Amino acid sequence: MLTQCEVIWNNCLAFIKNQVNEQSFKTWFMPIVPKKFENNILTIQVPSQFFYEWLEEHYLILLRQVITKEIGPEGRLEYSIIVDQGNNKTAPVTINLPTQRNYVQPNNPAPLAHTPHNPFILKNFKDLNQISFLNPNYTFENFVEGDCNQLARSAAQAVAKKPGGNSFNPLMLYGKVGLGKTHIVQALGNEVKARFTDKFVLYASSEQFTTQFIESLRNNSVQDFTHFYLQADVLILDDVQFLVGKEKTQEIFFHIFNHLHQSGKQIVMTSDCPPRDLKGLQERLLSRFKWGLTADLQQPDFETRVAIIKNKMQADGIDIREDLIEYIAQSVDTNIRELEGVLISLIAHASLNKRDMDLGLAKQVLKNIVHDIDTEMSMDYLHKIVTEHFNVSLESIKSKTRKKEIVIARQVAMYLAKQYTNHSLKSIGEFCGGRDHSTVIHAIQAVNDMLHTEQQFKVSLEEIKRKVKIKLPQVS
Ligand code: ADP
Ligand code: MG
């Protein structure tokens, strides 16, 4: 039996779902839990302060609209924010905030500690800047934006504008290898240095951090080690999964983390998996990560891969043909490091053998890297062809809409995926907006039926297949 507040919120969700795209809906509305409804005030629980600010910044109008619709003009929304998850002894701590800007800042749950005394004095900021360990080649300008990295990138940019003074503290980026984590956090560091010359940015890989710490244990200089890190205005610790199982290093990091955080300093971390999967990381450290924002980086889609190739080639002053770009983007869909590797080999082959950079050469280079490229068509690419042909958006294909033209495009996409890729029915369904395998079977059946009954459809499908085949070059 649903409570009144759950019913109201479900109605709100039904409305919101049609107003925002699927990804936003999943990210920003699904995690919300309706808590209570009293005196025309609907209280919803959101996971963090940042989450609340994001909703207020981006969806205020929509939320007002839906609250008025569901509750009436006197309806109000209130947020309940978990500021401390608690553990099995203490209950989670929450604060409530009304929906409006300029709200009164709640009492800071973590009182500011006095800045730690620091005997390890570095001469001036010039010295500090030289030991930031940042690579100036990583910038936001040369980081291509796509759906796969949008949240991570914009959060990092926001942090760079106001390090420490934002609610993305700590900022935790995670994602598989080669998707741009190091690039973004380094870009963040470089940007802070460019904007605030007096701020000390410190980048360290977790491996370096661990080695330095062990070294300092050996030299009896743990204090120096700690104080060095405590001077950072922005501390970037890359690949924290490396700390898993290293109890002592975690402890010292926990200590540094707390001091920096309490003195309003910014902490940025990356990991190759979501924090919850960091088994062997102390619970108290993990719970700190939840204070700020966690954003993931996903595999780049076809368009982003094309943009990245163009970007890299342009930066190197190399002209590259459009069909070649598309061919490479279609063939290499794992990660960006691999994509870069292919481009480097391609350039090297072209210059060593004094050959033009053409499709023939690309095939040769890729032959050793990509398997079964003649039979394996990427789903992204297939969807691109289908959506272009039917002139519908990828989003609508993945959505729940039952509009006829979209249903047909969706069914054709599934039909072709079965024919041209090695994906299972289950994975095809998942790609088409999380549908199950029986829906895919039904789609294939429906397309077969239409092929027999509608001449026009048959012509149209042949046309698409022709396009697919053009883009499916045979490896020589
Ligand atoms: P990770 O740290 O996640 O393993 P990196 O940040 O080292 O990945 O990225 C691998 C390579 O791909 C780097 O050379 C980086 O510059 C490049 N790269 C990753 N994402 C992008 C992007 N969106 N735009 C441009 N280059 C990118
Ligand atoms: Mg990295």
Our answer on whether the CB atom of 337 is closer than 6 Å to any ligand 1 atom is yes
Of 186-190, 195-199, 349-353, 396-400, where does the model show the most confidence? 186-190
Our answer on whether the CB atom of 180 is closer than 6 Å to any ligand 1 atom is yes
Q: For 136-188, give the secondary structure using H, E and C.
A: CCCCCCCCCCCCCCHHHHHHHHHHHHCCCCCCCCCEEEECCCCCCHHHHHHHH
| Angstrom distance (rounded) from CA 288 to CA 168 | 12
What is the model's pLDDT at position 407?
94
Contact criterion met (CB below 8 Å) for 76 and 41: yes
Our answer on whether the CB atom of 182 is closer than 6 Å to any ligand 1 atom is yes
Cα angle value 438/416/429 (rounded, 5°): 30
Can you tell me the mean pLDDT for 181-192?
97
pTM of this structure: 0.58
What is the model's pLDDT at position 369?
63
Q: How far is the CA of 340 from the centre of ligand 2 (A)?
A: 14
Domain 4-98: CATH superfamily is DnaA, N-terminal domain (3.30.300.180)
| Angstrom distance (rounded) from CA 127 to CA 20 | 48
Our answer on whether the CB atom of 160 is closer than 6 Å to any ligand 1 atom is no
Q: How far is CA 345 from CA 102, 180, 339, 352, 353, in A?
A: 54, 20, 10, 10, 12
Q: How far is the CA of 174 from the centre of ligand 2 (A)?
A: 10
Residue 111 has pLDDT above 50, yes or no: no
Q: How far is CA 205 from CA 60, 256, 332, 384, in A?
A: 39, 15, 28, 38
Q: In CATH, what is the architecture of 302-367?
A: Orthogonal Bundle (1.10)
Q: How far is CA 391 from CA 197, 369, 378, 409, 473, in A?
A: 50, 33, 20, 9, 24
pLDDT band at 348 (very low <50, low <70, confident <90, very high): confident
Helices 4-17 and 49-71 meet at what angle, rounded to 10? 100
What is the model's pLDDT at position 474?
41
For the segment 319-335, what is each residue's pLDDT rounded down to a tens digit?
888 888 988 898 887 88
Can you tell me the mean pLDDT for 420-428?
82
Cα angle value 278/282/287 (rounded, 5°): 80
More confident residue, 302 or 349: 302
Our answer on whether the CB atom of 308 is closer than 6 Å to any ligand 1 atom is yes
Structure tokens at 387: 């959506």
Q: How far is the CA of 41 from the centre of ligand 1 (A)?
A: 46
Residue 318 has pLDDT above 70, yes or no: yes
| Angstrom distance (rounded) from CA 261 to CA 169 | 8
Per mean pLDDT, which range of 202-216, 287-301, 338-352, 461-475 is the poorest?
461-475
Q: How many CA atoms within 13 Å lie on the side-chain side of 30?
A: 8
| Angstrom distance (rounded) from CA 318 to CA 410 | 38
- Under CATH, what is the fold of the domain 129-296? Rossmann fold (3.40.50)
What is the model's pLDDT at position 100?
46
For the segment 115-136, what is each residue's pLDDT rounded down to a tens digit?
222 223 333 334 444 567 888 8
Q: Across the beta sheet with 41-46, what order do the strands follow?
A: 33-38, 41-46, 76-84, 93-98
For the segment 163-178, what is each residue's pLDDT rounded down to a tens digit?
998 889 999 999 999 9
Please choose from 147, 314, 336, 342 the residue to mutate so as to test ligand 1's pocket, defined by most ligand atoms within 8 A of CB: 336
Q: In CATH, what is the architecture of 379-471?
A: Orthogonal Bundle (1.10)
For the segment 427-445, what is each residue's pLDDT rounded down to a tens digit?
899 989 999 989 999 999 9
More confident residue, 23 or 162: 162
Q: How far is the CA of 221 from the centre of ligand 2 (A)?
A: 28
Per mean pLDDT, which range of 79-83, 285-289, 422-426 is the poorest?
79-83
Residue 102 has pLDDT above 50, yes or no: no
Residue 271 has pLDDT above 90, yes or no: yes
What is the model's pLDDT at position 91?
56
What is the model's pLDDT at position 160?
97
Contact criterion met (CB below 8 Å) for 349 and 355: yes
Q: Which residues pair with 266 in a beta bridge?
A: 234
pLDDT band at 96 (very low <50, low <70, confident <90, very high): low
Residue 93 has pLDDT above 70, yes or no: no
Alpha carbon of residue 364 to chain centroid: 33
Residue 110 has pLDDT above 50, yes or no: no
| Angstrom distance (rounded) from CA 169 to CA 108 | 14
User: Mean of the per-residue pLDDT values for the chain?
Assistant: 83
Structure tokens at 411: 């069914």
Per mean pLDDT, which range of 59-68, 195-204, 268-277, 365-374 is the poorest?
365-374
What is the model's pLDDT at position 124?
38
Q: How far is the CA of 124 from the centre of ligand 2 (A)?
A: 29
Residue ranges covered by each domain of the chain: 4-98, 129-296, 302-367, 379-471
Please choose from 139, 147, 173, 183 the residue to mutate so as to test ligand 1's pocket, defined by most ligand atoms within 8 A of CB: 183
pLDDT band at 20 (very low <50, low <70, confident <90, very high): confident
Structure tokens at 5: 């507040």
pLDDT band at 408 (very low <50, low <70, confident <90, very high): very high
Write the CB contacts of 77 (distance below 8 Å, at least 6 apart in sequence).
Answer: 41, 42, 43, 44, 63, 64, 67, 98, 99
| Atom nearest to 272 CA in ligand 1 | 3
Cis amide prior to 116 (ω within 30 degrees): no
For the segment 377-402, what is each residue's pLDDT rounded down to a tens digit?
678 888 888 999 999 999 999 999 99
Ligand nearest to the CA of 242: 2
| Angstrom distance (rounded) from CA 239 to CA 337 | 16
Contact criterion met (CB below 8 Å) for 42 and 71: yes
